[in-house]
């Protein structure tokens, strides 16, 4: 028999949430005490009630994880990556790259993993715009990312829009733990952290970026880009 469903989720950290509409919120995974989890919950904001959708550690659901990436749309919920620190070191780092889909109408999980998807990572973000999920950044145990992917919900197709890069181009630096949001047309991002420059000290960000979907380009909104340095030998204004 399947395990009995609980009334409310236990206290935890490192879970992921996604919304369907204005009052339906889904929460997945996280860590309570010593153990990561894989339960899926629904919170109805109108009546302010929790209900457990799928119980923890079912054979037919995604394995346990912390800081996965979660998004939803068209009656589907998607989970990518995350981290399981209960995995022994000899079996790998614990960072995942598997990709799962939950069909709300069918009430079942499906493993949709494909070789052409973002590498293993946690603490990435996804923002859905017009049926397309934009997936940016994240990290594993040694590496921070700045690649940008898009996932089309209807076809389950991944496309790498911008590869990871450390070059000084007009795009966000490698980071994890950042925040993203959409205005319905374009993507906005704030903050995050990285250990790229110093393995012993976190590099924190407070910048704001915009990704314009129509042009597929990033622009930094804050702090504003510095103007070019004045050329001492250039033109000068004179007043008569």
Question: What span, in angstroms and rounded, lies between the C-alpha atoms of 208 and 212?
Answer: 13
From first to last of the 240 residues of the chain, give the pLDDT tens digit: 556 566 899 999 999 999 998 899 999 999 988 889 999 999 999 999 999 998 887 888 999 999 999 999 999 999 999 998 776 544 556 899 999 999 999 999 999 999 899 999 999 999 999 999 999 999 998 889 999 999 999 999 999 999 988 665 688 999 999 999 999 999 999 999 998 666 667 789 999 999 999 999 999 999 976 665 554 444 433 333
Contacts of 182 (CB under 8 A, 6+ apart): 127, 128, 129, 188
Q: What is the pLDDT of residue 231?
A: 46
Cβ neighbors of 54 (< 8 A, separation 6 or more) are 39, 40, 61, 102, 109
**pTM tops 0.85:** yes
Q: How far apart are the first and last CA of the chain?
A: 92
Task: Name the 3-class secondary structure at 151.
Answer: strand
Q: What pLDDT sits at residue 165?
A: 80
Element (H, E) at 112: none
Q: What Rg do the C-alpha atoms of the chain give, in angstroms?
A: 21
List strands edge to edge, sheet with 69-73: 69-73, 76-83, 95-103, 108-111
């Amino acid at each position: 028999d399947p395990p009995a469903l609980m009334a409310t989720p236990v206290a935890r950290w490192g879970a992921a949430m996604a919304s369907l509409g204005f009052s339906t919120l889904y929460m997945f995974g996280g860590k309570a005490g010593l153990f990561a989890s894989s339960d899926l919950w629904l919170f109805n904001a109108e009546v302010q009630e929790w209900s457990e959708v799928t119980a923890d550690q079912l054979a037919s659901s995604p394995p346990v994880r912390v800081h996965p990436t979660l998004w939803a749309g068209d009656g589907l919920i998607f989970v990518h990556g995350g981290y399981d620190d209960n995995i022994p070191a000899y079996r790998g780092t614990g960072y995942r790259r598997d990709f799962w889909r939950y069909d709300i109408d069918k009430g079942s999980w499906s493993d949709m993993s494909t070789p052409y998807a973002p590498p293993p990572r946690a603490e990435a973000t996804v923002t859905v715009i017009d049926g397309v999920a934009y997936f940016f950044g994240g990290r594993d145990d040694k590496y921070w990312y700045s690649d940008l992917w898009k996932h089309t919900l209807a076809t389950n197709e991944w496309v790498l829009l911008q590869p990871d890069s450390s070059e000084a181009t007009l795009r966000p630096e490698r980071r994890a733990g950042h925040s993203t949001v959409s205005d319905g047309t374009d993507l906005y991002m704030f903050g995050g952290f990285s250990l790229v420059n110093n393995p012993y000290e976190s590099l924190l960000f407070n910048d704001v970026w915009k990704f314009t979907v129509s042009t597929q380009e990033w622009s930094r909104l804050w702090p504003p880009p510095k103007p070019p340095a004045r050329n001492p030998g250039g033109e000068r204004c004179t007043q008569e």
